[in-house]
Amino acid sequence: MTSSAVEAPTDITAQEAELYDRQIRLWGLDAQKRLRASRILMVGATPLTGEIAKNLVLAGIRSLTLMDDSPLSADDIDSSFIYDPSLATAATTRAEAALSALHSLNPMVEVSAKSGQPEQLTADVLANEDYDAVLAISQPVEVLQSLGRLCRSVTYDGEVNSNGAGNNSNSDSSAKQRRQVQFFAADCFGCHGYVFLDLQRHEFATELAEVPPKAGQDSSVDPKTAAVPAAGSQPVETHLIKRSADYADFESVLRTRWDPAKLGSLRRLSPALYLAFLLFEFQRANNGARAGPNDVDALKTLWRAFAESQQLPANLLDEAVLSSGLQPPSCPVLAIVGGVAAQEVIKAVSHKDDPFNNFFVFDGIQSCGSVQTLG
Amino acid sequence: AGNASLAREVASGSRVLVVGAGGIGCELLKNLVVSGFRRISIIDLDTIDVSNLNRQFLFRKEHVGQSKALVAKQSVLKYGRDADITAYHDSVLEEKYGVDFFSGFDIVLIALDNRAARNHVNRLCLAANVPLVESGSAGYLGQVTVIRKGVTACYECKEQQKQKSYPACTIRNTPSEPIHCVVWAKYLFSQLFGEADPDQDVAPDTEDPELSSSSSTTPAVANGSQANEQQSQKQTTRSWAEATGYDPSRLLKKLFADDIRYLLTMSVLWQRPGRRAPTPLTDEQLDGSGDAAPQSDGYQRDHAVWSAAQCCHVFRSAVDQLRRRYAERSSADDYLVFDKDDQAAMDFPNPKCYVCAPQPQVTLRCDPSILTVGALRDRVLKAELAMVAPDVEIEGRGVILVSSEAGETESNDPQPLARFGIGNHARLRCDDFLQRYNLLIIIAAADPADAEQRLPDGVDFQIVGDLQSVQATAEAAPAAAAPPPATSGRKRRSEAVESGPLGSGEAKKARLLDEADDDDELEIVAAPKSVDGASSQEPDIVLLD
Whether B457 is in a domain gets the answer yes
Assign domain A14-200+330-372 to a CATH class.
alpha beta
Give the pLDDT score at B1.
42
Q: A203 versus A234: which is more confidently predicted?
A: A203
Q: Is residue A235 over pLDDT 70?
A: no
- Using the Cβ of A10 and the Cβ atoms of chain B, whether some distance falls under 8 Å is answered with no
Indicate the SS3 state at residue B534: coil
Marked catalytic residue, from B125, B154, B169, B430: B169
Residue B499: inside a domain: no
Name every chain B residue with its beta carbon within 8 A of the beta carbon of A80: 34
Same domain, B274 and B382: no
Specify burial of residue A1 (Cβ count, 10 A radius: 0-12, 13-18, 19+): buried
pLDDT recorded at residue B235? 62
Domain boundary residue, one of B405, B437, B464 = B464
Claim to verify: residue B25 and residue B124 sit in the same structural domain: yes
Is B110:B121 a contact under the CB 8 Å cutoff? Answer: yes
Domain ranges of chain A: 14-200+330-372, 204-243, 266-324
Q: What is the C-alpha to C-alpha distance for residues B201 and B179, in angstroms, rounded to an integer?
A: 16
Q: Looking at the structure, do residues B251 and B382 belong to the same domain, yes or no?
A: no
In chain A, which among 253-272 make CB contacts under 8 A with chain B? none
Contact B461, B379 (CB under 8 A): yes
Question: Which residues in chain B are contacts of A188 at CB distance < 8 A?
Answer: none
**Best mutation site among B37, B57, B145 for testing chain A: the one with the most A CBs within 10 Å?**
B57
Query: What type of residue sits at position A182?
Result: Q
CB nearest B34 (choices: A105, A229, A331):
A331
Is residue B40 helix, strand or coil?
A: strand
Plot region of B80 (φ>0 → left; ψ -120 to 50 → alpha; else → beta):
left
Domain of residue B262, residue span = 168-207+237-284+314-347
Interval A277-332: pLDDT, tens:
999 999 999 999 999 999 999 999 999 999 998 888 888 898 989 999 999 898 99
Cβ separation A219–B272 shorter than 8 A = yes
B181 is catalytic: no
Contacts of A81 in chain B (CB under 8 A): 30, 33-34, 76, 79
In this complex, the residue of A54, A224, A230 whose CB is nearest that of residue B166 is: A230
Predicted confidence at residue A247, as pLDDT, reads 97
How many folded domains does chain B comprise? 3
* pLDDT > 70? residue A136: yes
Please check whether residue B524 lies inside any domain of the structure.
no
CATH number of the CATH domain containing B419: 3.10.290.20
Which among B346, A126, A83, B408 has a CA at the least distance from the CA of A135? Answer: A126
Indicate whether B119 and B178 sit together in one domain. Answer: no
Instruction: Sort out which chain B residues have CB atoms less than 8 A from A23's CB and list them.
Output: 54-55
pLDDT for the residue A245 = 94
Burial of A184 (0-12, 13-18, 19+ CB in 10 A): buried
Chain B residues with beta carbon closer than 8 angstroms to that of A54? 57
**A46 CB near a chain B CB, below 8 Å?**
no
Q: A26 and B170 in contact by Cβ < 8 A?
A: no
Do both B439 and B398 map to the same domain?
A: yes
Of B4, B55, B168, the CB nearest to A225: B168
Domain at B201, CATH number? 1.10.10.520
Residue B177 DSSP symbol: S
How far away is chain A from the Cα of B312, in angstroms, using its nearest Cα? 23
Q: B333 and B376, same structural domain?
A: no
Distance from CA of B261 to the nearest CA of A (A): 20
- Secondary structure of chain B: what % helix, strand, coil (to 5)? 35, 15, 50
Give the per-residue pLDDT at B421: 86
Could you tell me how many residues make up chain B?
Answer: 545
Q: In B, which residues are within 8 Å of A225 by CB distance?
A: 167-169, 209, 479
Query: What pLDDT is stored for residue B140 in this prediction?
Result: 83
Asked, for residue B216, whether it belongs to a domain, the answer is: no
Domain end point (choices B432, B464, B496): B464
Measure CB to CB from residue A79 to each of B34, B54, B165 and give the nearest one: B34
Q: Which residues of A268-291 are buried (b: 16+ CB within 10 A; e: fewer)?
A: eebbbbbbbbbbbbbbeeeeeeeb
Pairing of strands A110-113, A63-67: parallel
Which of A148-157, A173-182, B440-449 ranks highest by mean pLDDT? Answer: A148-157
Query: Which pLDDT tens digit goes with each residue over A25-53?
Result: 889 999 999 999 999 999 999 999 999 99
- Average predicted confidence (pLDDT) for chain A: 86
Of B365, B471, B378, B465, which is closest to residue B425 (Cα–Cα)? B365
Burial string for A351-363 (b: 16+ CB within 10 Å, else e) reads bbbbbbbbbbbbb
Q: How far is CA A121 from CA A147, A150, A364, in A?
A: 8, 8, 34
Interface touch B4/A219, C-beta < 8 Å: no
Given a cut of 90, whether residue A239 has pLDDT beyond it is no
> At a CB cut-off of 8 Å and minimum separation 6, what does B309 contact?
B284, B285, B288, B289, B292
Residue-level pLDDT, tens digit, chain B, 545 residues: 456 677 888 899 999 999 999 999 999 999 999 999 999 999 999 999 999 999 999 999 999 999 999 999 999 999 989 899 999 999 999 999 999 999 999 999 999 988 889 989 998 998 999 999 999 888 888 889 999 888 877 777 765 555 556 666 777 777 776 677 777 777 777 777 776 666 677 777 777 777 765 444 344 433 334 444 444 445 667 777 778 787 877 887 888 788 888 788 877 777 776 677 777 777 777 665 554 566 555 555 665 666 666 677 777 777 777 777 777 765 655 666 666 666 665 555 422 222 122 356 788 999 999 999 999 999 999 888 878 888 888 876 657 788 887 777 788 889 999 988 898 888 898 887 666 677 888 898 877 677 666 777 778 888 887 555 555 543 333 333 333 333 322 333 222 222 233 333 333 332 333 333 333 332 223 333 333 334 333 333 222 22
User: Is B421 domain-assigned?
Assistant: yes
* Residues 333-352, chain A, touching B (beta carbon < 8 A): 335, 343
Task: Tell me how far apart the alpha carbons of residues A341 and A363 are, in angstroms, rounded to a whole number.
Answer: 15
Cα-trace Rg, chain A: 23
Query: Are residue B372 and residue B334 in the same domain, yes or no?
Result: no
| pLDDT given at position B166 | 65
Whether residues B112 and B50 share a domain: the answer is yes
User: Looking at B464, B488, B511, which one is the last position of a domain?
Assistant: B464
- Give the DSSP H/E element, type plus range, for residue B132: strand B132-138
Question: Are residues B343 and B371 located together in one domain of the fold?
Answer: no
Q: Which chain B residue has its CA at the smallest distance from A76's CA?
A: B34
CB neighbour list of residue B62: distance below 8 Å, 6 or more residues apart: none
ipTM: 0.87
Give the integer Cα–Cα distance in Å for B49 and B30: 20
Across the interface, which of A54, A104, A225 has its CB nearest the CB of B167?
A: A225
